[in-house]
């Protein structure tokens, strides 16, 4: 359970929801963690307080507003000052279902910046030191929305994140592996999507070969598995974690 001892991991939006479960999984395997939060320092502090610690392991929070250029720049400066980042999980990813013709320029930029620009800039900040040390892991959190075409800028951003993952895998190897996961609708967030579309979950379950939604814990486990030494030979992969939901059928 200490396979990641001596490793420091940064998880953007790591204070809540899927991000918090990823942080907990990393900590359970011995990693030190840095979790970003946007507004609630109390929520992040509560998470950190319950994580396991050892003499080689510590955890802390860092405020970061990653959906605008100024906030990204500020956090990138913070990353470059850190002594060591072995793992970067680009988990921050604001969502929108505003129709294309109704969307403001500000909302378009916010979704694009939060999902793509934040991942690009954060990866660029940590990659040189990872390469100098001879090892690093970057994991990008895409989404099942990358495979459909009715979520406007969110679909575009999550699909672009898949391409970014493949591009960085080519650019940063052999020292750094870059992979991603693309979760479908997550069970614990079903109530959130129901506010936009009350029937979405029922339709999704009926359409999914496994007839269920995925859970945060199983997504987090795969994210952290990709950071393990036994996955040294895997890069440029994006794993759909959706029970087969994305597969077209007649």
Question: The CATH number of the domain where 36 resides is what?
Answer: 3.40.50.720
Q: In what order do the strands lie in the sheet with 176-183?
A: 59-63, 32-37, 8-11, 87-90, 136-141, 176-183, 238-241
Residue 76 falls inside a structural domain:
yes
Residue 209 falls inside a structural domain:
no
Torsion of CA 168, 170, 176, 179, to 10 degrees: 60
Enzyme catalytic residues:
154
Largest CA distance in the chain: 56
Domain range spanning residue 94? 8-188+217-241
The single residue listed with the structure tokens 């403001």 is: 104
The single residue listed with the structure tokens 């800039």 is: 121
Mean model confidence pLDDT for the chain: 95
**150: confidence class by pLDDT, cuts 50, 70, 90:** confident
Residue 193 falls inside a structural domain:
no
**249: confidence class by pLDDT, cuts 50, 70, 90:** confident
* Cα 75 to Cα 12, 153, 159, distances in angstroms: 10, 24, 24
Residue 108 falls inside a structural domain:
yes
Residue 207 falls inside a structural domain:
no
Q: Residue 149 pLDDT more than 90?
A: no
Residue 248 falls inside a structural domain:
no
- Tally of residues, the chain: 250
Closest CA to 143 of 132, 130, 153: 153
Which tens digit of pLDDT belongs to each residue from 160-215? 999 999 999 999 999 999 999 999 999 999 998 888 889 989 999 999 999 999 99
Q: Residue 47 pLDDT more than 90?
A: yes
The domain tally of the chain equals: 1
Quick one: pLDDT at residue 101?
94
DSSP codes joined into one string, 195-221: TT-TTHHHHHHHHSTTSS-B-HHHHHH
Residue 35 falls inside a structural domain:
yes
Residue 71 falls inside a structural domain:
yes
Contact 210, 244 (CB under 8 A): yes
Contact 186, 170 (CB under 8 A): no
pTM of the model: 0.96
């Amino acid at each position: 359970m200490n396979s990641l001892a001596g490793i420091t991991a940064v998880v953007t939006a790591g204070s809540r929801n899927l991000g918090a479960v990823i942080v907990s999984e990393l900590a359970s395997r011995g990693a030190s963690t840095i979790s970003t939060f946007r507004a609630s320092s109390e929520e992040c502090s509560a998470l950190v307080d319950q994580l396991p610690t050892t003499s080689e392991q510590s955890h802390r929070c860092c405020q970061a507003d990653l959906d605008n250029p100024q906030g990204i720049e500020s956090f990138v400066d913070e990353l470059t000052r850190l002594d060591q980042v072995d793992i970067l999980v680009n988990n921050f990813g604001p969502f929108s279902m505003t129709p294309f013709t109704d969307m403001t320029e500000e909302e378009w930029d916010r979704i694009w910046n939060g999902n793509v620009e934040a991942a690009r800039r954060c990866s660029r900040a940590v990659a040189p030191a990872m390469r100098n040390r001879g090892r690093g892991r970057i994991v990008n959190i895409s989404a099942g929305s990358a495979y459909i075409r009715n979520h406007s800028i969110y679909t575009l951003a999550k699909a672009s994140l898949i391409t970014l993952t493949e591009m960085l895998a080519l650019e940063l190897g052999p020292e750094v592996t870059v992979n991603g996961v693309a979760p479908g609708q997550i069970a614990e967030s079903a109530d959130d999507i129901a506010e936009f579309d009350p029937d979405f979950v029922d339709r999704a379950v009926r359409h999914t070969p496994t007839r269920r939604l995925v859970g945060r814990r199983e997504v987090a486990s795969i994210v952290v598995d990709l950071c393990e030494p036994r996955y040294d030979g895997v890069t440029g992969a994006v794993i759909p974690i959706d029970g087969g939901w994305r597969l077209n059928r007649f």
